[in-house]
Amino acid sequence: MREATVAVFLFLLFTTSTLLPATSAQPPPPSPGCVDELVAFSPCLSYVSAPPNNVTETAASQCCEAVSSVLDSGDGNCLCYLFRQPLIFSFPLNQTRVASLSLVCNTSRSLESICSSAPPSLPPLRNITGPDISKPEGGNTTSPEISKPSDSGEQAKHNYMHKRQTLVMEN
């Protein structure tokens, strides 16, 4: 009996010890999307936008700081969206000015060289491996119903028009 108890104990100990590392191992952090880098690029938009949206002739210091921090860090693939999808912000960009940012901002690396050597597929715009957005309680994902305006609005409009006609006729 004692040997059976020891055997069961050893079996349970072995089983739990092999499962423990698997459950306590943390998954690698999700790779960040490009949204943060593109938002950080926003001070450059007044300079790199195509007419009539280009409102400055020089890049702002905040623009150069953002571009320099991305390009000098050795990254910058996210900024390749500016070349490959020039309407990413829903308005056209002046590609010549986008390409000139590394010269204007005096960075150690060129955006053109990064984008020419970047892989054909760009990093995701947003984190696609992150947690799901929570759904409303009850699991209802349909749009809320929109109620029809009450007839009192129509009645008020009718009263207004009637008073207006009366005033016009009296004059």
CATH number of the domain that residue 39 is part of: 1.10.110.10
Maximal CA-CA distance, the chain: 114
Domain of residue 51 covers: 35-117
Residue 162 binned pLDDT confidence (cut-offs 50, 70, 90): low
Tens of pLDDT, residue by residue over 17-50, are 444 444 444 443 434 578 888 888 899 999 999 9
If you average pLDDT over every residue of the chain, what do you get? 69
Residue 24 lies in a domain: no
Question: Is the pTM here over 0.75, yes or no?
Answer: no
Mean pLDDT of 73-90: 82
- Which segment of 12-21, 72-81, 86-95 scores lowest on mean pLDDT? 12-21
Mean pLDDT of 104-114: 87
What phi and psi values does residue 150 have, to the nearest 5 degrees?
-70, 160
Residue 30 lies in a domain: no
Residue 42 lies in a domain: yes
Residue 140 lies in a domain: no
Residue 153 lies in a domain: no
Higher pLDDT, 142 or 123: 123
Q: Return the C-alpha torsion angle 82, 83, 85, 91, nearest 10.
A: 60
Residue 166 lies in a domain: no
Number of domains the chain is built from: 1
Residue 44 lies in a domain: yes
CA 24/CA 163 separation, integer angstroms: 76
Residue 108 lies in a domain: yes
